[in-house]
Amino acid sequence: MAILAVNAGSSSLKFSLHPLKNGEVLPDILSGQVQGLEPGGTPALDWQLRGLHHHETLPPTDPEQAFAAALQRLGELLTTFEGAGARMQAVAHRVVHGGGVYTGSVLVTDAVLEQLARFNSMAPLHQPHNLLGIRRLRAAFSGVPQVACFDTAFHAHMPEVAAMFALPASVREQGVRRYGFHGLSYQYILSVLQKKTLRASGRVVMAHLGNGASLCAVRDGASVATTMGFSALDGLMMGTRSGALDPGVLLYLLEQGWERAQIEALLYKQSGLLGVSGISADMRRLRTEAADGNDDAHRAIDLFTHRVVRETGALTACLQGMDLLAFSGGIGENDAVLRAQVCAQLGWMGLRIDAGRNRLASGHDKGHGNGAASMAIHAADSRIEVWVVPTDEGRVAAREAAALLAAQQPISA
């Protein structure tokens, strides 16, 4: 038996196949992604099977046909596992927003899809594409249960004071509150840390830093505060998203004649690292440009670092201290310079890192097996533990699907 985990985006489809053994979800044996599904893109499939990497270009066509061709090719790959395609237990989908309706994973029905579509405006870069992926995989793998796993679920039981906006009840009753995101990632990071250190049961701040970026404060294994809010725009500066912004800026832009579509594009696609630097949303490129003396690249990196430090301090205050700081996400896992800069600015807390281990953490094996690639990078005299934990949202989604189906009927493997 196996569970296919899927993360469908606007121009890509990421997937991983996770075997089940005695009810446990194992690390993926097949993983990959389809890219270039946007209009005018060049569809390509990259996949890894038992450590071997493969690349193939799909016939150029319109996005609808490209997606269909990608699913057909994925189906062919699944059948290589001695009939694993036919024995696939479920497809687990990452869905960004569950609103206040879904606080745990659910089996997808037409009614569920209809309800989830109402949250599209809360996460326009993600939600519509997540749901389109579900619809297409329902059709491609007819009869296989589809399970929606929500990024918001991890934060669903935050204290009211952490979730509430200072708005009238008439607005709050429409579901306007802080939801929080990156929940599948935080769930995985925490599960790894709990196997590695006793500090994970205390006051933990987790930093998921990538093209999307957020922080989460956890106490006793539960989310108590997070930087993202009603939408995935709030909090930290990101690759192309602005992060927290004075609402008065939006009122000013409206006064200047900006249309809704212009403002949405500004906030979601033209700001963040890309907007500040005017160069790229990719931190790796910005590091190269900064090393060559580009002031705009320096400015973008400095602002990103400042925002991480500032919000970490705020969450530490909410926790009344910090026992452990964990870095994850594409930037958090790979940018040793950023980790060093953040930790240096938090040194007043008694936080110290080991420079050698910090450098090593960005170059060691990134395999996910039971958190094997996670690494402690704090110095021996640090009052706070610091970890780098490569995330695995697909495995968490597969676990969620397995648990949901097992509650209905036992899963054999």
Asked whether residue 237 is marked as a ligand-binding residue, the answer is no
Q: Which residues contact 91 (CB under 8 A, 6 or more apart)?
A: 3, 4, 5, 6, 137, 141, 144, 145, 146, 147, 401
**94 annotated as ligand-binding:** yes
Was 64 annotated as part of a binding site? no
Annotated binding residue at 331? yes
Q: Please check if 330 is assigned to a binding site.
A: yes
Residue among 11, 15, 14 at smallest CA distance from 37: 11
Instruction: Say if residue 5 is exposed, middle or buried (CB neighbours under 10 Å; 0-12, 13-18, 19+).
Output: buried
Classify 314 as helix, strand or coil.
Answer: helix
Of 195, 196, 100, the C-alpha closest to 150 is 100
Distance from C-alpha of 223 to C-alpha of 398, rounded to nearest angstrom: 21
Q: Report whether 41 belongs to an annotated binding site.
A: no
Give the whole-angstrom CA distance, residue 366 versus residue 372. 8
**58 annotated as a binding-site residue:** no
- 119: tokens are 């949250």
The DSSP result for 84-123, as a single string, is TTTTEEEEEEEES--TTT-SS-EE--HHHHHHHHTTGGGS
The verdict on whether residue 182 carries a ligand-binding annotation is: no
Among 46, 62, 151, 292, the one annotated catalytic: 151
Does residue 246 have an active-site annotation?
A: no
Q: Is 282 marked as binding a ligand?
A: yes
Annotated binding residue 17: no
By C-alpha distance, which of 380, 377, 302 is closest to 341? 302
CA separation for the pair 99, 227 (Å, rounded): 17
Tell me whether residue 306 is annotated as binding: no
Closest CA to 179 of 212, 161, 155: 155
Tell me if 243 is assigned to a ligand binding site: no
Judge whether 208 is annotated as a binding position.
yes
Reading the block at residue 256, the tokens are: 């200047």
Kindly give the pairing relationship between strand 375-376 and strand 213-219. unpaired
Point out the annotated binding site for ATP: 14, 208-212, 282-284, 330-334
Q: Which residues fall in the annotated binding site?
A: 7, 14, 94, 208-212, 282-284, 330-334, 393
Binding residues for Mg(2+): 7, 393
Q: Give the residue numbers marked as catalytic.
A: 151
